[in-house]
Chain A
Amino acid sequence: MRTVSAAETAPSLHPWAIHAEELQVRAGRHLAVNGLDLTLGTGVHGLLGPNGAGKTTLMRALATVLKPAAGRLRLLGEPVDGRADLRQVRRRLGYLPQQFGFYPRFTLREFVEYMAWLKEMPKTAIPGATQRAIERVGLEAKAGARMKTLSGGMLRRAGIAQAIVNDPAVLLLDEPTVGLDPEQRLDFRELLRDVGVDSCVLVSTHLVEDVVAACSDVVLVNEGRLVYQGTPDDLIAQGGAGDPGDSPAERGYSALLRRDRAVSAR
């Protein structure tokens, strides 16, 4: 049991946790995100799209790592494009990049504590929050092990632990299920549903089944634009018997992509 602060019970004044209008983001010289409109509220959202669709660039822009080239982007009601002060928003963000870089000499606990410190958490809250985050991803037995001794799946879970250590209001996970075994993936889906109760979670992935099983909402992007946004059931309903794929959701995914490519080829 913990004390709930006044700030937590205050009503939010923004309709969407993530609100992008005509967003353009550069990856090098190429516009990887080109005119994307997206609104996401509380819940678990799955971000789907083929390779090179601009998923990672979009995630980086949402994590405030990249500056949008044009358009408007608001996170938790605060503008994060242009020269805005990002500190307040960044304190409430959790981010797992696709290439999860770490300091090999740190122990897992030291690394998560360091990230909690970087996120400007109160000094007294850091040890408890670190322990809780490590327990939530099931790595408490490895808390004292150096990062370089962890296996691929453990590193992925360590990345998830550092992302959730500050109880973020917006959690961005770029391909979090890579390297997880089937049982760990089930645990991870459970964690996603748990976090998604009161925060906005965006999970980028290639695995359509993960999205259908754990997400309340599906976002499909292609060539830097939003192609489709709807519930997993809607996605399944899009697919017909003639579309390629081994599951109803995969058929829906390929049907949507095929339709989008036909429209843009015209």
Chain B
Amino acid sequence: MTTHPSLAAIARYADREADLDEVTTWSVEVHLESCADCRSLMAGYTTGDTRALLDRIATGLDRGIAAGPAPTRPRRWAAARHRWLVWHLMPWLTMTVAVLACAALLEAAQPSFPSLVALLAPVAPLPGVAVAWSRRHDPAWELIAGTPRSGLAMLLRRTAAVLAVVVPALALASDRTGVSLAVTLLPCLAFTAATIALGAYAGVRRAAAVLGTAWTLAVIVPAVVTADPPVVLQPGSSLGWALLTLVLGGFAVTQAATFRRLSSRN
């Protein structure tokens, strides 16, 4: 089977006087779009008038292209930034970093006191994670909730954006004050995983509030009152925190189905 149209068909297509039925016209035209050989064949059948007209159009187009605006380059970085960075998180992240900076300053002024940075590390990502999956804080929540990409993957992506800011801030603060990095970062990750795991049942915002309050009452307040470093943040506890992170993270992944809809709890 030959896919090229016959010479006669091309000749009649090129001649505007010839009577060519519509179906053949279309099939020749579609073929010409993709076949350079047949295009050059057809060029042989054109008259001087047609060639002059084509030349005139070509120079006109060239002039228009030269005078017009230059084509914009695709902005890959901008698209990636929009997919990862969520603007409504910015005020919360700024606040978190500012609080951590204050904690680091206080700690530098009072070295005998239990490390404030380590005490605050578990709850530092919680405001950001709570806001990442909340119908009250995301202006486009209703649009996003109806798209295939919404769900646990979306929440994890936004959580990753929060951690990308909070973890370096914590690392910097604990480096300045000389606290062990494992005791700062592992509880931070464990609380993030716990928020998502509990969020499958109670809503992420509520889960963050419950966990933040519990940590404050059970650990931060006694540590500040008694000025003793809490047991759960001793250097030996890092293995426990790592295991807890893994277990809670694994559990959260099994609950992916509950994040498909943005429920009224969020």
Beyond A60-B142, A90-B148, A103-B139, whether A65 also contacts B262 by CB under 8 A is: yes
Contact with A along B243-265 (1 / 0, CB 8 A): 00000000000000100111110
Contact with B along A79-102 (1 / 0, CB 8 A): 000010111101101010101111
Chain A residues within an 8 Å CB radius of B78: 110
24 interchain pairs, CB-CB under 8 A: A60-B142, A63-B146, A64-B261, A65-B146, A67-B263, A85-B260, A86-B260, A95-B146, A97-B142, A101-B138, A101-B139, A101-B142, A102-B139, A103-B140, A106-B82, A113-B79, A114-B82, A117-B79, A117-B149, A118-B148, A118-B149, A119-B148, A119-B149, A162-B143
Chain A residues within an 8 Å CB radius of B178: none
Q: Given A118-B143, A120-B148, list of 8 further CB < 8 A pairs?
A: A65-B145, A67-B261, A101-B140, A103-B88, A104-B139, A119-B148, A119-B149, A162-B143
B77 at the interface (CB under 8 A from A): no
B201 at the interface (CB under 8 A from A): no
B143 adjacent to A64 (CB under 8 Å):
no
Contacting residue for A117 out of B83, B88, B263, CB 8 A: B83
A150 at the interface (CB under 8 A from B): no
Closest 7 A/B residue pairs (Cβ) = A101-B139, A118-B147, A90-B148, A97-B142, A63-B146, A87-B148, A101-B140
Number of interface residues of B (CB under 8 A): 27
A127 at the interface (CB under 8 A from B): yes
A86 adjacent to B148 (CB under 8 Å):
yes
Tell me the residues in window 72-122 of chain B with beta carbons closer than 8 Å to chain A beta carbons.
74, 78-79, 82-83, 87-88
A259 at the interface (CB under 8 A from B): no
Chain B residues within an 8 Å CB radius of A104: 139
Chain B residues within an 8 Å CB radius of A119: 147-149
Chain A residues within an 8 Å CB radius of B83: 114, 117
B150 at the interface (CB under 8 A from A): yes
The smallest C-beta distance from A60 to any residue of chain B, in angstroms, reads 7
| Closest Cβ neighbor of A100 among chain B residues | B143
Tell me the bound Cα distance from A101 to B145 in angstroms.
Answer: 12
B148 adjacent to A91 (CB under 8 Å):
yes
| Closest Cβ neighbor of B82 among chain A residues | A114
B142 adjacent to A65 (CB under 8 Å):
yes
Chain A residues within an 8 Å CB radius of B139: 101-104
**How many pairs of residues, A versus B, come closer than 8 Å at their CB atoms?**
76
- Which B residues fall within an 8 A CB radius of A? 30, 74, 78-79, 82-83, 87-88, 138-150, 257, 260-264
Chain A at the B interface: mostly helix, strand, loop or mixed? loop
A90 adjacent to B146 (CB under 8 Å):
yes
Chain A residues within an 8 Å CB radius of B138: 101
Number of interface residues of A (CB under 8 A): 36
Chain A residues within an 8 Å CB radius of B150: 118
Tell me the bound Cα distance from A119 to B149 in angstroms.
Answer: 6
| Closest Cβ neighbor of B150 among chain A residues | A118
Chain B residues within an 8 Å CB radius of A83: 257
Beyond A65-B146, A113-B79, whether A101 also contacts B261 by CB under 8 A is: no
A258 at the interface (CB under 8 A from B): no
The smallest C-beta distance from A107 to any residue of chain B, in angstroms, reads 9
The smallest C-beta distance from B162 to any residue of chain A, in angstroms, reads 17
Beyond A65-B262, A110-B78, whether A97 also contacts B143 by CB under 8 A is: yes
A261 at the interface (CB under 8 A from B): no
Tell me the bound Cα distance from A210 to B201 in angstroms.
Answer: 43
B147 adjacent to A115 (CB under 8 Å):
yes
The smallest C-beta distance from B68 to any residue of chain A, in angstroms, reads 15
Chain B CB within 10 A, most for which of A67, A102, A118: A118
Tell me the bound Cα distance from A93 to B143 in angstroms.
Answer: 11
Chain B residues within an 8 Å CB radius of A93: 146
Tell me the bound Cα distance from A95 to B142 in angstroms.
Answer: 9
A28 at the interface (CB under 8 A from B): yes
A105 adjacent to B87 (CB under 8 Å):
yes
B261 adjacent to A66 (CB under 8 Å):
yes
The smallest C-beta distance from A90 to any residue of chain B, in angstroms, reads 4
A90 adjacent to B147 (CB under 8 Å):
yes
Chain A residues within an 8 Å CB radius of B257: 83, 85
The smallest C-beta distance from B75 to any residue of chain A, in angstroms, reads 9
B261 adjacent to A118 (CB under 8 Å):
no
| Closest Cβ neighbor of B78 among chain A residues | A110
